[in-house]
Amino acid sequence: MVDYITASLNPSQEKAVRHCPDIPLQILAGPGSGKTKVLTSRIAHLILHHRIPPSAICAVTFTNKAANEMKERLSKLIGRDWTYQIKMGTFHALCALFLRRHGTLAGVDSNFTICDADESEKLITKLVKPRLEEWEAKGITVKAKTVMSVISKAKAQGHNPQQYLRFSVAKDGIIPPNPPPPDPLTVMFAEVYTDYQKTLRKSNSLDFDDLLVYGVKLFRGHDKVVSWCRHVLVDEFQDTNTMQYAIMKHLATHHTSVTVVGDPDQSIYGWRSADVANLKKMQKDFSTTEQIFLEENYRSTASILAVSLAIVSKDKTRIPKSLHTSHPHGTIPMLGTFRDEKMEAQFIATETKRLVAASGGMFEWKDFVILLRFNALSRALEAALQKEGIPNRVLNGHKFFERIEIKDLLAYLQTVDNPLFVPAFVRCINTPPRTIGEKSVNEILARAEKDKISPLTLLEGIYDSKMPDIKPAVKRKIGSFVPTIRKLRKLANSGTPPADLIRELLELTAYEGYLKKLFPDWETRWENVQELITFAAQPQETIRMDLDAVEVPQASQSQDQSQSQEQDNIEMYDLEQDGFMVVDEPASEVKGKEKEKPVTTPPKTEQGLLETPLRTFLQASMLSTDSETREDGDKNKVTISTCHAAKGLEWPVVFVPAVEKDIFPFYRTEDTEEERRLLYVACTRAQGLLYISNVVGRMHGGKVKFTQVSEFISAVLKDDLTLTTTQPPAMNYPEVEVISRVLRQPCPSIEDINKRMRE
């Protein structure tokens, strides 16, 4: 089986897979070099060859999509049962799981609500509002989004409000002996940050950054929570921030067995607090760390790789590494210069139609992507595509869980699960309308805060005539609301599946009738509601905690027996006596006696089960970072995307327009080299054909601004003019044959090509 796993790997990939698990490893994998294959093969090798129990392995990804892809591949290698014992998921999902189980150790109640970005912005807007007059008097204009970004970056660095203030005057991370006082704006940010955290804690909620902050607090302060981990693997390591690195480090506390996969050349998220320096930090913290380079690209033609490498190689601070491919040289990338953005967009649209025909139908609309530095550049392109009748879609558009009707229903369920979460209560109390005005809602919130109870508890007291009504009176108006919440709460606590809860909620609130009355597009919204039920009906794949022990295959006969015994013996603690759950029990601990199953029943609190199907569903919906708007049946569309959103994806044909000064690099950037890497990422998405373009004059702010090609491109052309061509590909038959081999698709016949061209 081990030979089967490594049979299809190249020498560098095999070396990475077979690397000794006790020596920390950095796999520096270029684009298209098969890093996912290497990562999954290494996990399988750790289990089958080194006999590390699947439940003692933690694999961290940056998206749910990546985690699901790894699960699918691993299921084929080691089977579904073992795959789903591996603790695999995003950093946020991993922290959320452990905080549900052991959050009280970090000061978090188990039924905390995950506050999404939209609700966070609303909270901060409310906190900023009373300060606006003071700020404006000092000549300061600040938006809530700016404050939100500052707070997020502070949390990503592990700084509370007080630490944020102290480090605001630091130089290179060092606070001087006699630091100057922070500037007034920083002080104001710290005040909002303090109040924001108080508001979140009062509502028993955590924002996305808090999941990491409290996760670090839990892992750092309680060794028994991480003692199960024998090996931790991290994907896209170059995108980790300070908190995510700390999580990795604490998970590796007991065994220092770490594998990370990343590419510093694709580090493009500095604005999200990603820190590429974590690669060097790991080498310092894990002094025996070794590096293996994956430099064979399986995605692109040699000509695309040549221009991509020429771009990124101008960064003199990068780790020197190359990229090569067994694919043919292929068509030379085109560098086009146009008069204005309309001509540029028109060329892209007509060229797309030409390529579909000239390829004999080998290319479909879905094989094309237009990669933009920022979304605002899409207007002319969308118009040109529409004019040519080319269907298109915008990648990473409005997300499914951000739709009004979905947020309405989730607000009800969040209120049922966590009555302290005020944003959800405020959203659902008058949805559908119950003639409870803003004044009444504010009175309810004020009374509840004064009495130190949740708003829902107050309403239940008024409904039961155990508490005096407010003014204006609401007892009559909540006649349907309180019974609805009570019925849903009873069903939720008894373990009713989330899909059934939603159906019951729709019936109790007559929500379909509400949509019909209020929204002209109610049918589409109702379809979204049905999709939510579908999502709720699916088993929510969370990181597994409590699993029956599974026998791990025997090590090879040549393996040293004492070593295998040491590998088998995971030190077990009586976690229950400290309020913990028993996480796993390795098979080796029960050899020679009847196996006892680990505890699998979640502990209870005064409010009921620590975990309910509803709570699992709510967590999955809040962490569903990859759930985009439902698409219609026809997915055959040209994609328009930002370069950032395209990372990790690939297309046969890539257009990168507006590669101009002040766009690449963006004029407000603080890191020119990160902008260079972003263009490199965009170019390396291409498999067969790459187009880079710029214009002489681009409309900006209502005026034509004359521009020039990006310095990233001009520097490359200065060294080698042959890397690009000013002419579009001829698409003669030899070129089509090469592209078909790269894409591993049947090559169309000359007759098909001629027929398409005539049409």
Cβ atoms of 26 and 299 within 8 Å: the answer is: no
Distance CA 146, CA 164 (A): 15
Alpha helices in 436-497 (DSSP H): 438-451, 455-463, 481-493
pLDDT value for 628: 40
CA 676 to chain centre: 23
Distance CA 316, CA 321 (A): 12
Asked if the peptide bond before residue 603 counts as cis, ω within 30 degrees of 0, the response is: no
Torsion of CA 356, 358, 360, 363, to 10 degrees: -30
Q: How far is CA 382 from CA 323, 387, 666, in A?
A: 34, 9, 22
Question: Which sign does the torsion angle of CA 416, 418, 422, 424 carry?
Answer: negative
Distance CA 18, CA 42 (A): 7
Residue entry with tokens 């680990």 = 598
Question: Which sign does the torsion angle of CA 587, 590, 595, 597 carry?
Answer: negative
User: Running DSSP on this structure, what letter comes out for residue 660?
Assistant: B
Cβ atoms of 293 and 264 within 8 Å: the answer is: no
Alpha helices in 260-403 (DSSP H): 278-285, 302-312, 341-358, 378-387
Cβ atoms of 57 and 84 within 8 Å: the answer is: no
User: What's the average pLDDT block by block, 10 residues per block, for the chain (759 residues)?
Assistant: 83 96 96 94 96 96 89 93 93 94 91 92 92 78 88 95 90 80 89 96 95 96 91 96 96 92 92 89 95 96 97 91 92 97 97 96 96 91 94 76 91 96 95 93 94 95 94 92 96 94 96 93 89 83 47 41 35 30 32 35 45 89 60 76 93 97 92 96 97 93 88 95 96 95 93 87
Sequence-distant (≥ 6) Cβ neighbours of residue 547 within 8 angstroms: 55, 84, 85, 584, 598, 600
Q: How far is CA 410 from CA 423, 431, 492, in A?
A: 11, 12, 14
Sequence-distant (≥ 6) Cβ neighbours of residue 59 within 8 angstroms: 39, 43, 67, 70, 86, 87, 88, 232, 233, 235
Question: Which sign does the torsion angle of CA 100, 102, 105, 110 carry?
Answer: positive
What tokens were used for 604?
A: 């209870």
Q: Which of 360, 350, 354 is nearest to 388 (CA)?
A: 350
Distance CA 369, CA 272 (A): 24
Q: pTM value?
A: 0.84
577-607 burial: b if 16+ Cβ within 10 Å, else e: eeebbbbbbbbbbeeeeeeeebeeebeeeee
pLDDT value for 582: 29
Distance CA 486, CA 465 (A): 16
Q: Which of 340, 394, 437, 399 is nearest to 626 (CA)?
A: 399
Strands 368-372, 651-656: pairing kind: parallel
Distance CA 460, CA 663 (A): 56
The amino acid occupying position 584 is D
Burial label for 427, CB within 10 Å (0-12, 13-18, 19+), is buried
Q: How far is CA 503 from CA 485, 499, 529, in A?
A: 14, 6, 10
